[in-house]
Chains A and B, each alone.
Chain A
């Protein structure tokens, strides 16, 4: 095998690795997304039943913090997908 052959093989490997990585990141987005969906369902249940007394007088502020949390986590994966494209 010449040096250029081995270099081409290496590049192929890099390309394959990148495509696997991208697929994996998309799946991770789906995974984190589903966890956040469950979290939202829980907030909806709490809101519908008016169970805020557990968190005292925070009420909607608490739900806002929960939404902020979910958005930040999903945002991290989205950043990973679009910003770290070149990998």
Chain B
């Protein structure tokens, strides 16, 4: 009997660790989807009609193309997995409301990203935006009392900071604007990392209670409703942009590519990654890998000048993130004993 119980315990522990690893793989493999989507967004903000007013055009792409098509893709997904029945269940729990509220705040990050990309370009906004994973990890670990104070975390943070410093050095070469505009762009994307970091935590908390897809549906719906109202009321020129954009089938097709590939990352990398691997590992990996691909695709297929400095800085960011999510062997051993 004792033996059987031990076996069950053992297999459950193994299953747990393989689920965590699977979540990390989800987060990594979904990365290119984010690069494809947000790199394209970075390219389109400079084109008509989104260049009518800066940086309103960035926000307009989010509300006109990215979110509506992502919501459409989500509906297709929910119908396939049969999860749409779960969507109403969220209103039965007060904690679910609260996590939904903080998760929805993540849409401010989307808007900040789109506006910042106008000022500093996808190649730079990408790697810095990816830092949201670290912000989320710090919030998750402090609220969940998860201990991340290890030597590897410290070295990881140092590497990450050096990586950012190098990326910013390369930024002066690839950024479309300089001086005060570039500084504002960097500050806006740092603002995005803070709201995304909160979203990261709320996904970690929310997916304990419900399927990750359920939270995502409301996150998209609220982003569409609240974001559109704010956009069209505050910036009248955006109405004109939306009308022009919808009249052009070419722009609509490319807009659909943004929405459909962005949702792949949101579902697989961000929400599934965190649901499987937790807020620290899933969040950090989804962030760094996804946002690395924004920089990489921007400089390879989206015509931003290629910069080895940005690539080198991003690799250091990676290494830092990898150290952040690994637990040293001796620590694991001592935990098991």
Contact = CB atoms under 8 A, between A and B. Distances in A.
Contacts, number: 131
| Majority-rule SS of A interface residues | helix
Nearest to B26: A76
Contact of A32 (B5, B47, B253, B268): B268
Interface string A66-83: 101110110111011001
Interface in B28-70: 29-33, 35-36, 40, 43-44, 47
A32 B267 contact: yes
Contacts of B5: 7
Interface string B244-270: 000000110110110011011001100
Contacts of B301: 55, 58, 61-62, 65
A9 interface: no
A57 B1 contact: no
Interface stretch (B8-16, B98-106, B315-323): B8-16
Contacts of A42: 253, 256-257, 260
Contact of A56 (B4, B30, B303): B303
A11 B5 CA distance: 10
Question: What band does the interface of chain A fall in when counting residues whose beta carbon is under 8 Å from B?
Answer: 35 or more
Given A3-B1, A38-B260, A87-B18, 7 more contacts: A35-B76, A35-B77, A38-B256, A39-B264, A51-B254, A55-B40, A66-B257
26 contacts: A3-B1, A30-B81, A32-B264, A39-B260, A39-B261, A46-B253, A46-B254, A54-B250, A55-B43, A55-B303, A56-B303, A58-B301, A61-B300, A62-B301, A65-B36, A66-B257, A68-B32, A69-B33, A69-B264, A72-B31, A76-B26, A79-B22, A80-B26, A83-B22, A86-B15, A87-B19
Interface of B: 1, 4-5, 8, 11, 14-15, 18-19, 22, 25-26, 29-33, 35-36, 40, 43-44, 47, 73, 76-78, 80-82, 250-251, 253-254, 256-257, 260-261, 263-264, 267-268, 297, 300-303
